[in-house]
């Protein structure tokens, strides 16, 4: 695990953009795991701006979504799908046949996860996996616990997750999550972990301890040979 410290969100985002751009130029049809949320959003914006200049950039990119909330009210503005569509999928011109996603309104979340796992097995492994870190150390929606499921799976959300950010403002918060499991994440050739936003200082301190434990899922990233951690120092 390699740590890279930046004075602000802008410079952190620029480095993330440069690494992603370089990888896509080398392998135009790489498999990219897109994460929602604010932490990688600056890099996404820079990729979209680059796409405006060079229209062929990303034209063969394959994209799979990392996770999704379940149990939200119909037409909720807070789905991960809406977030990644606005920030990445649409600006990058990712066509439906090159984008695989989890439906936030599915009536069969277990089946949805099983289908995504089959897609990952067929299309994978990932070339790049984008991650943020939760205040409790979750990555994707792999929450703290003694046991962790390896494939895509339906997950129970931790109280600390539901109490954080925009989720605590919802009249009808999510009742479960759907997420890529640790196997898919750890099989990625490159992992970019963005540490940004409020409340991340304690999680970052635990990450640095180099102790792999189920109660802090991000610690499993120490088992991977190519994790680049981009740290906005204003967040820690």
Residue count (the chain)? 236
User: Which range marks the domain in which residue 122 is found?
Assistant: 2-200+210-235
Residue 224 annotated in active site: no
Task: Specify the pLDDT at position 59.
Answer: 97
Alpha-carbon distance of 175 to 157, in angstroms, equals 7
Share the mean pLDDT of the chain.
96
Task: Specify the pLDDT at position 199.
Answer: 86
Q: Would residue 153 count as lying in a domain? A: yes
pLDDT tens-place string over residues 121-132: 999 999 999 999
Q: Would residue 205 count as lying in a domain? A: no
Alpha-carbon distance of 20 to 184, in angstroms, equals 19
Cα 119–chain centre separation: 17
Q: Would residue 51 count as lying in a domain? A: yes
Residue 97 annotated in active site: no
Q: Would residue 155 count as lying in a domain? A: yes
Q: Which of 83, 117, 138, 142 is catalytic?
A: 138
Task: Specify the pLDDT at position 142.
Answer: 98
Domain total for the chain? Answer: 1
Task: Specify the pLDDT at position 23.
Answer: 98
Residue 143 annotated in active site: yes
Residue 112 annotated in active site: no
Task: Specify the pLDDT at position 197.
Answer: 87
| Termini Cα distance of the chain | 18
Instruction: Lowest mean pLDDT of 69-78, 96-105, 166-175, name the range.
Output: 166-175
Alpha-carbon distance of 199 to 213, in angstroms, equals 21
pLDDT at 221 over 80: yes
Q: Would residue 8 count as lying in a domain? A: yes
Q: Which of 81, 127, 143, 232 is catalytic?
A: 143
For Cα atoms 183, 67, 128, give the angle at the middle one, nearest 5 degrees: 55
Task: Specify the pLDDT at position 169.
Answer: 76
pLDDT tens-place string over residues 51-83: 999 999 999 999 999 999 999 999 998 999 999
Q: CATH number for the domain including 101? A: 3.40.50.1360
Alpha-carbon distance of 175 to 9, in angstroms, equals 31
pLDDT tens-place string over residues 32-53: 999 999 999 999 999 999 999 9
The mean pLDDT of 181-208, rounded to a whole number, is 96
pLDDT tens-place string over residues 6-17: 999 999 999 999
């Amino acid at each position: 695990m390699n740590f890279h410290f930046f004075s602000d969100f802008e410079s952190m985002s620029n480095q993330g953009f440069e690494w992603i751009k370089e990888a896509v130029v080398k392998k135009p049809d790489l498999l990219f795991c897109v994460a929602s949320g604010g932490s990688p959003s600056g890099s996404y914006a820079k990729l979209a701006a680059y796409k405006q200049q060079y229209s062929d950039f990303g034209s063969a990119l394959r994209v799979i979504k990392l996770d999704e909330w379940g149990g939200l009210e119909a037409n909720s503005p807070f789905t991960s799908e809406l977030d990644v569509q606005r920030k990445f999928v649409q600006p990058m011109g990712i066509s439906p046949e090159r984008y695989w996603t989890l439906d936030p309104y599915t009536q069969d979340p277990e089946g949805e996860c099983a289908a995504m796992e089959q897609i990952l097995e067929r299309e994978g492994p990932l070339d790049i996996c984008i991650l943020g870190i939760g205040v409790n150390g979750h990555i994707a929606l792999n929450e703290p616990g003694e046991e962790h499921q390896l494939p895509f799976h339906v997950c129970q959300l931790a109280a600390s997750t539901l109490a954080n950010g925009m989720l605590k403002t919802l009249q009808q918060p999510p009742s479960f999550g759907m997420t890529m499991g640790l196997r898919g994440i750890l099989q990625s050739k490159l992992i970019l972990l963005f540490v940004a936003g409020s409340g991340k200082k304690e999680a970052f301190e635990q990450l640095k301890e180099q102790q792999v434990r189920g109660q802090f899922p991000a610690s499993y990233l120490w088992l991977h040979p190519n994790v680049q951690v981009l740290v906005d120092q204003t967040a820690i």
